[in-house]
Amino acid sequence: MNTYVVAWRNIGRNKRRTALSAVAITVAAFGMVLLFSIIAGLSFEMQDNFVRYITGDILIEHEEFEKYQDINPLHFYVPDQEELIKKMEALEGVAHAFPRINFGGQLYSQASIGEFKRVSIFGFDPVAESDTMNMTSHLVPETNSQMPAANSREVIISEGLAKREGLKVGDKINLATMTVRRAAFQITMKISGIAYFDFSQMNEGIVFIPFDLAQYIVDYSGFDGAMSVNVVKKTNVERGDLEKQINDVLKTESAYQGITARAFENVSTIYSFLKMAEYIYYFMGLLFFLLASTVIINTTMMVIFERTREIGTLSALGMKGKEIVRLFFTEALIIAIIGSLVGVVIGTAMAIWLEPTGFDFKEAMQGVDFQISGMMKPKWNPVIAIFVLAAGIVVSSFAAYFPAKRASRIKPIEAMRKDY
């Protein structure tokens, strides 16, 4: 007896039962591909946001800065940043580099009714960061926002801050902070633009100011200082290799003693946060995988137990237990391959289709302090598709094996007598 021929006949003979099993496997495979693609997209977005807005691929800063960053340690700075950037951009693996000065301050405006509000001040170079932050693309067009004019005291504020304090383009604000010499400093500036970012950390309570103005405020101008220099690598360059190369350059320069370079993965607080988020995402994915597997197993086992009378008939006709198990395993394998393949294809098509636009979860993500936007964009990966395809086939096939083996051991007269 040709097991494969009989298996195909059985599959076609009861189309409703076959469709039930195949649909359950298809839905589970589709859901797993889409969910794991969304998880991969979230992980990629978090890493991209950290690199783009916070660290760059390589973060150059004073070795003591991270230890004391919670107390705004302006005295741990990178000196002569312009010369350092030239040295970095001369390296083969570096695409470009740019300086940053981030510090805390207090904001006062007419709208704040006599109260100073705590804000983060973000000093950046709009020209040097045109390929990374690209502030122009974040300006809210409905507000007539513009980039700060050269050599002016104009600033951009985040949309969250503008809404919270009732500020608009053209308003004047006062910022109070401390300089590197721990002297109090206050300055009046004009709002030239309002910027919107997809994720809350960049969209709440931030004042964006030109880098040279930030240098002036914290008194870094005399030694051309920066709080950090962020380096963006070229494509196909390993961060670890570039980190070593940059540190070798820094060690040879006496002016940069105490200044170190760390790859994005080695910025401990950031990378550990990312890994924690990844574990949370994949734990959610694992739970869904187990749930989907339960659906597949339950459906397959139900079909096998419903066919116990049929198994008894086959035994009465002389088919051995091993042959019965092989027959039902082959049927389950064929249905599993078809169902998993269809589910993976549909899930892949959906993930690729949604990749440019994603799901809009902005309302649900409000107030969530994660480096992700409200648009959940799947990121399809062939490894995901292969894993789900293999998992669907294996789980479905072996879900049929054990109940079929158990049923094949029942005596034919008992199997045909009982109502399963």
For every residue of 52-120, DSSP letters joined together read IIII-SEEEEETTTGGGGGG--TTS-BSSHHHHHHHHHTSTTEEEEEEEEEEEEEEE-GGGTT--EEEE
pLDDT(414) > 80: no
pLDDT of residue 178: 92
68-82, 250-264, 305-319: least confidently modelled range? 305-319
Q: Which residues contact 139 (CB under 8 A, 6 or more apart)?
A: 145, 146, 147, 156, 193, 194, 195, 196
Higher pLDDT among residues 1 and 88, named by residue = 88
Question: pLDDT per residue over 282-338, tens digit each?
Answer: 677 667 767 766 766 676 667 666 666 776 776 777 777 677 778 778 878 888 888
Give the separation between CA 128 and CA 323, rounded to whole angstroms: 71
pLDDT of residue 362: 58
pLDDT of residue 284: 73
Kindly tell me the burial class for residue 1, based on how many C-beta atoms sit within 10 Å of its own C-beta (0-12, 13-18, 19 or more).
Answer: exposed
Our separate counts of H helices and E strands in the chain read 13, 11
Residue whose entry in the numeric block shows the structure tokens 């510090």: 103
Backbone angles phi, psi at 150, to 5 degrees: -60, 140
With the C-alpha atoms ordered 249, 251, 256, 260, is the resulting torsion angle positive or negative? positive
> What is the identity of the amino acid at 411?
K
The model scores a pTM over 0.85: no
pLDDT of residue 176: 92
For the chain, state the CA radius of gyration. Answer: 31
pLDDT of residue 112: 59
Please check whether residue 32 is in contact with residue 388, taking contact to mean a CB–CB distance below 8 angstroms: yes
pLDDT of residue 349: 94
